[in-house]
Structure 1
Amino acid sequence: MDPFRRAQIILLCDLCKTAHLQSHCERCDINLCQTCVGKHISDSSIRHKVVPYKYRKSLNYSKCPDHADELCKHYCEKCDIPVCSTCVSSSKHKGHDTSDILEKLSAKTESLQKDLDELETRIYPRYEEMACGLQTEKAVLETNYGKLTTIADQHGELLHREVTAIVNQRKSDIQEMKIKHLSTLNKNTEEITQKMAELKQIMSDLKSILKSNDVSLTSTHKSRNSEFRTLPPKVRVRVPSFSPQKINKDQLNEMFGSLPSLSINTEHGDTMKSAEAVSSPPVKPLLDEPRVTAAIDTGYNKLYSVSCLSEDQVWTRGENDTMKLLNLQSKLLTSIQTKSGYLPQDIAVTRDGDLVYTDYRDKTINLIKNKQIQIVITLQGWRPLRVCCTSANDLLVTMNSDDVKQSKVVRYSGSTEKQSIQFDDQGRPLYKSGGDISENKNLDICVADWYARAVVVVNQSGKLRFRYTGHPSNTEQSFYPRGLTTDSQSHILTADFNNNRIHILDQDGQFLRYIHCDLERPYGLCVDIRDNLFVAECDTAKVMKIQYL
C-alpha cells in the first residue's frame, strides 16, 4: 500500500508542514514536497542532494555519550569528535570551532571512496598481475625442467648400462631442484593470494561502510592503503642449464655433465605511491616560530616520559610506579601501576594502541592490554632502559649489562629476539649507555646515548651511519640529549636537557634548527600522527604540545 494513502500515517513536508512529502535531501536530512524542493535548492552555497523519498538513505547518527537523549549532529574540530547541540553550547566545547556532521561525513566519505577507487583500480590489479605472472612462470618452469629431463634421458641412453646410475642421479638432482623452485614459487603465490584476500576484505568493508552511511563507522575507519602500496617480494627463479660431455668410459661421471647450484633471486616489491603522493608529495616545512598549543599538568613531582595514544591523549610516567593516561585538558583518564611496584623505566604505545613499559629493577618488558599486565620478556644479565615500537610492530629496546659496562639495542618480535646491535665494523662498542630510541621513516635506528652525550644513528642492519654531538652554537652548557623522537619527514628531534631546547636534525644528521618555546628541562619526547611534538618537562612535570611543522 502507498504510505502516503494510509489513513493512520500522514507524512508531510518538513518546510511547509502542509503538503505531502515526495522528496528527501540527503545533504540536509529533511523531507520536501514538490513545491518546496525548488526553494530548498535555491541556496547554491550548499551542495544539496535531493532524491525521491523512497530512495532516501537514512543516516545513523551516533548517540551523545554525555546526553543520552540527543544525537550527534555536529562535529567539534578541536576535539575531533561528533557532538550534540547541548555539547556545542556547553563549557566543555566553548570557543571550539564546530561544523555540521554531514559536512564531515561528506569529506570522510570522499576519502573512503578515494581509498576504494585506488584499491580497485591501482593496487589490486597489480597484485592480480603478479599472481598471473607467477602462474605463467610456473608453466614455463615445468616446460624447461621437462626439457632438462629429456636431455638427461637422451644422453643417458648413449651410455647404456655403464652410466645408468649416473643418469638416475642427475634426474634425481633435477627433480629436487624443480621441487625447490616450485615450492618457492608456490610460497610466493600463497603470499600474494593472502594479500589479495585481505584487499578484497578491505574493499568489501569499505563498500559496506559507504553503503551503510553510518557516521560512527565512517569517522573511525583507518585507511590501510599505505600498508599495501609496498608490493610483496617477487621471486625470480633461474632454470639451470645442462652441459653434456663427450662419452669417455673412464671419466663417465665427469663427462656426463653437471648442474649449477640452485639459483633463486628475490626482488624487493615496488612501493606504489598514492595518487596524492604522485601529484603532491606531502612535504611539511618547518615553522619559523614553533608555538605551544596545549599544556598538560600531569600531577607528578618529576616527569620523565610521554607517549602519544592519539592527538589528544598521552601516556606519561613520572617518579613513582603509576603510569597515567591524560587528555589535553589535564584530565586523568586511566592510571595503571607496574606489576612489580617499581618505577617504570620507559613507556611506548604499540600500533594496536596497547601500552608497553620497561622495568629496570625487575629486568622485564611488559605489555598492558585491556588493563591487564603481561610480562613479554624477562632478561638475563641485562637490564632494559628505553623502548619504542617500529613500523613493523617490533619493539626496539636499549639496555645495559648488569655491571653497566656494556650497552646494546635489541629488536623483538613479540617475545622473540630478532636482532642485536652492539658493535661497529671494527668490533668497537657503538654505545656507551642506553638511552631514548626511535625508528626513523627510512628505518634508521636513532639512540640518544646519554653517557656519550651524542645521538647515534645506525641503519636497519645495524651499520653506523653517523653520530651527532651537538651544534657549535652550544656555548652555555654541553650537549646532553635525553628524549628522542622522529617524525613523518624523517627529522630526528632530541631534547637538549641542559640547554632547555630541542635540536631538529635531518635524516643524515645535519642540524636544521632549535625549538625553544621557553622549555624547562625537556626530558621525554614523542610526536602524534599529525607531527605535533609533545615534550615532557622534568621539573615542572608538564607536557607541552608544540606545533613546529
Structure 2
Amino acid sequence: MHPRRSAQDVLLCDLCKTAPLQSHCKLCHINLCVICVGKHLSDSSKDHNVVPFIKHIKSTPNYPKCPKHAEKHCELFCEKCNIPVCSTCISSDKHRGHKISDVLEKLGSKTENLQKDLEELETRIYPRYEEMASDVQTEKAELETKYGKMTTAADQQGEILHREITAIVNKRKSDIAEMKNEHLAALNKNTDEITNRITELRQIIQDLKKILDSNDVFLTSSYKSRNSEFRTLPPKVRVTLPSFSPQKINKDQLNEMFGSLSPLSINTEHGDTMKSAEAVSSPPVKPLLDEPRLTATIDTGYRPRSVSCLSEDQVWTCGENETMKLLNLRGKLLTSIKTKSGNRPRDIAVTRDGDLVYTDYDKGTINLVRNKQIQTVITLQGWSPRNVCCTASNHLLVTMDSDDGEPSKVVRYSGSTEKQSIQFDDQGRPLYSSDDYNDIKYLSENRNLDICVADNGARAVVVVNQSGKLRFRYTGHPSNTEQSFDPVDITTDSQSHILTADFDNHRIHILDQDGQFLRYIHCGLRRPFGLCVDIRDNLFVADGDKKVKKIQYL
C-alpha cells in the first residue's frame, strides 16, 4: 500500500485507478484526479463539465443503505454515535437526545478533511521525510571524504614525526661517527710515537752490539748511554668510550605529542513535531532585501550553463563539454562525471535522494547518476529531451522537442512512467514556442505546484497550474525599452517567488506567484544563465565570467 495513499484507497481516480480523486465530470460521470483532469479535458470532441468532487456529492444525493433496516437509506448522521442513521434508527431509544445532521453534509465535511489530510501528507509531511532521508544519504556520502581527511591528517602527522625521529637518529649516528674518528686519531698518534721510539731502540741495540764485537777503544770510550732516556716510557692514551643511554618511551606522552582524537558522539534527537497545515498554511515570511548581497563566488574554470544545488555548500555544474562537476564554495572539485555518450548534457537536476539527473538531447535519453554509475532511465522515440527539474513529489518534469515539428511540450515522469503531458491551452493553441535546436526551455515547479517555463524562443515565462491550465505569461517589465526580455534558466523559492535569468540584460527578474514583477537582482552579473535555490533560499547563478555566484536576496 502506498504510504501517501493508504488513507484514500476508497476514493481513487476512475481513469488511472491509482491517484486520489479531486474532481468529477458531470458529462461523462467519472471521477478524476488532478493529473487526469488535464488529459480528460484535452478531448475537445465533448463539452466536458468538470466540477470539484465535493460539489458533485452535494448536488447528487447517494444515501447509503441502513445496515439495520434494509428498506431504508441513511439520510441522517448521529453526531454522538458518529454513524449514518435512517429515520427508523432516529425514532429508536438508542439515539434519543442525540444531535442529528444531514449525512451528505457530514460526508462533504469529512471529504474536505480527507482532502486536507491528503494535501498535507503529499505537500508537507511526506516531502519532509524524503528530505530527512536525503540528508542522511548526503551525510553518508560525505563520510568517506570527512573521515578520509582525518586519516590523511594522521598520516601527515606520522610522516612529520618520522622525519623528526629520523633526523634525531641521524644526528646521533653522526656524533658517534665523529667520536669514533677522534678516538681512532688519538690511538694512531700514540701508535706513531711508540713506533718511532721502537725504531730508535733497535738502532741503539744494533750499535752497541757492533761496539762490543769490535773491541775498538775509541768507539767504546766515546759511547754515551741513553738508557735513562728510554726508561721513561711514552705516554699511553686512555680514552673513555662514550655510551648511548636510550630513554624509555612514554606511550602516553608520545600519543599526546602525536595529537588527540575527540570521541565520536552519536545522539538521537527527538523528532520535531510538524505543525498542522492550518497552523502553517504558508511558510515564514522572508521579505526581499533592498540590496541583494553576493556572499560567495565559485571559480569553475569554464563557462557553466546549468547549476543545481546538492547542499548549501555544494553545487553541480555543467557547460559546453561532456563533463559535469561537483564543486564546493571554494571552487574545489569534489567529483566529476562524464556523460555516457560523450555528448554535452543539455541540463542537470538533483533529485530529492541526492542523485544527479542529466538530459542527452542527441541520444534522446534521460539519465540518472548514482554512486558515479550512470543509468539510462528514459529513452524517447520521436522526441528529444531538453531541460529537466525535480519536483517536491520527486517526479521529473522535462521540456522536449519533437523530431517532426510538433509543438514543444512538458512531460511529467514518475520513475520512467509518463504521468502527464502539457502541450496546448484550453483553445488548443500551443503553450510553448516551436522547436528550435538552439532554443532553451528551462523549467521549475513552484511551491504552489505551478509549472514555470522560461521559454526563450517566445521571450516569455509561461506558467501553468498542476493540471496544465495556463495561468499567465510574463514578457518582461514594461519599463524595459532598451533590450528585449531574454529569459534563460528559471527557479523558485519557499515564498513561491519565480526567479528568471535575463541573459542579454545581465540581471535576474523576481516575480510573485501570480506573475507580478517585484524587483531585479544585479550584483555585478554578466550574462547570467543557470539558476538554482538551496533549502535556505540562497540563489546560485551560473555567470558568464566562468563563475557561480551565491546571492542572498531574502
Which band: TM-score by shorter chain? Answer: 0.5 to 0.7
SS at match of 1:451: helix
Asked if 1:308 is matched to 2:314, the reply is no
Asked if 1:502 is matched to 2:511, the reply is no
Which of 299, 302, 307 is matched with 2:301 structurally?
299
Aligned partner letter, 1:340: S
Structure 1 residues not aligned, in runs of 5+: 1-126, 128-140, 153-180, 231-270
Which of 142, 149, 161 is matched with 2:70 structurally?
149
Asked if 1:395 is matched to 2:401, the reply is no
Output the CA distance in 2 between the equivalents of 1:336 and 1:143: 60
Q: CA deviation at 1:476?
A: 2.3
Counterpart in 2 of 1:548?
A: 553
Deviations 1:418-459 (A, max 9, x none): 000000000000000551100001110000001000000000
Aligned partner letter, 1:460: Q
| Percentage of pairs with the same residue | 70
Call closer, same or farther: CA 1:422–1:216 in 2, change over 3 Å: farther
Which of 246, 269, 283 is matched with 2:285 structurally?
283
Superposition pairs of residues 376-387 of structure 1, within 5 angstroms:
376-387=377-388
Aligned partner letter, 1:496: D
Output the CA distance in 1 between the equivalents of 2:264 and 2:419: 42
Call closer, same or farther: CA 1:351–1:290 in 2, change over 3 Å: same
Contact 2:386 2:400 in 1 (8 A): yes
Q: CA deviation at 1:147?
A: 3.9
* TM-score, with structure 2 as normaliser: 0.52
Which of 484, 487, 494 is matched with 1:481 structurally?
487
Contact 2:66 2:72 in 1 (8 A): no
Q: CA deviation at 1:514?
A: 0.3
Q: CA deviation at 1:298?
A: 1.1
Output the CA distance in 2 between the equivalents of 1:272 and 1:372: 43
Call closer, same or farther: CA 1:143–1:298 in 2, change over 3 Å: closer
Superposition pairs of residues 33-182 of structure 1, within 5 angstroms:
144-147=65-68, 149=70
Counterpart in 1 of 2:471?
A: 465
Q: Which moved more, 1:281-290 or 1:490-499?
A: 281-290
Counterpart in 2 of 1:325?
A: 326
Aligned partner letter, 2:370: K
Superposition pairs of residues 227-238 of structure 1, within 5 angstroms:
none
Deviations 1:320-369 (A, max 9, x none): 10100000000000000111111101000111111111110110111111
Q: CA deviation at 1:215?
A: 4.7
Q: Which moved more, 1:523-532 or 1:402-411?
A: 402-411
Output the CA distance in 2 between the equivalents of 1:225 and 1:404: 52
Asked if 1:438 is matched to 2:444, the reply is yes
Aligned partner letter, 2:549: M
Output the CA distance in 1 between the equivalents of 2:465 and 2:327: 34
Q: CA deviation at 1:224?
A: 7.7
Output the CA distance in 1 between the equivalents of 2:351 and 2:381: 24
Aligned partner letter, 1:513: R
Call closer, same or farther: CA 1:218–1:315 in 2, change over 3 Å: farther
SS at match of 1:149: coil
Call closer, same or farther: CA 1:144–1:288 in 2, change over 3 Å: same
SS at match of 1:347: strand
Asked if 1:346 is matched to 2:347, the reply is yes
SS at match of 2:67: helix
Counterpart in 2 of 1:517?
A: 523
Call closer, same or farther: CA 1:146–1:348 in 2, change over 3 Å: same
Output the CA distance in 1 between the equivalents of 2:506 and 2:496: 23
Aligned partner letter, 1:333: L
Q: CA deviation at 1:380?
A: 0.8
Contact 2:65 2:72 in 1 (8 A): no
Aligned partner letter, 1:395: L
CA-based RMSD: 3.3
Output the CA distance in 1 between the equivalents of 2:69 and 2:414: 43
Output the CA distance in 1 between the equivalents of 2:361 and 2:312: 29
Call closer, same or farther: CA 1:293–1:443 in 2, change over 3 Å: same
Deviations 1:380-412 (A, max 9, x none): 111001111111111110111114542000000
Output the CA distance in 1 between the equivalents of 2:343 and 2:268: 42
Counterpart in 2 of 1:419?
A: 420
Call closer, same or farther: CA 1:142–1:148 in 2, change over 3 Å: farther
SS at match of 2:362: coil
Q: CA deviation at 1:481?
A: 0.1
SS at match of 2:337: strand
Highest RCO, 1 vs 2 (Cα 8 Å, sep ≥ 6): 2
Call closer, same or farther: CA 1:292–1:148 in 2, change over 3 Å: same
Q: CA deviation at 1:144?
A: 4.4
Q: CA deviation at 1:547?
A: 0.5
Superposition pairs of residues 232-251 of structure 1, within 5 angstroms:
none
Structure 2 residues not aligned, in runs of 5+: 1-6, 8-61, 74-106, 137-262, 435-439
Deviations 1:450-505 (A, max 9, x none): 10000000001000000000012222211000010000000000000000000000
Q: CA deviation at 1:273?
A: 2.6
Q: CA deviation at 1:145?
A: 3.8
Output the CA distance in 2 between the equivalents of 1:460 and 1:143: 34
* TM-score, with structure 1 as normaliser: 0.53
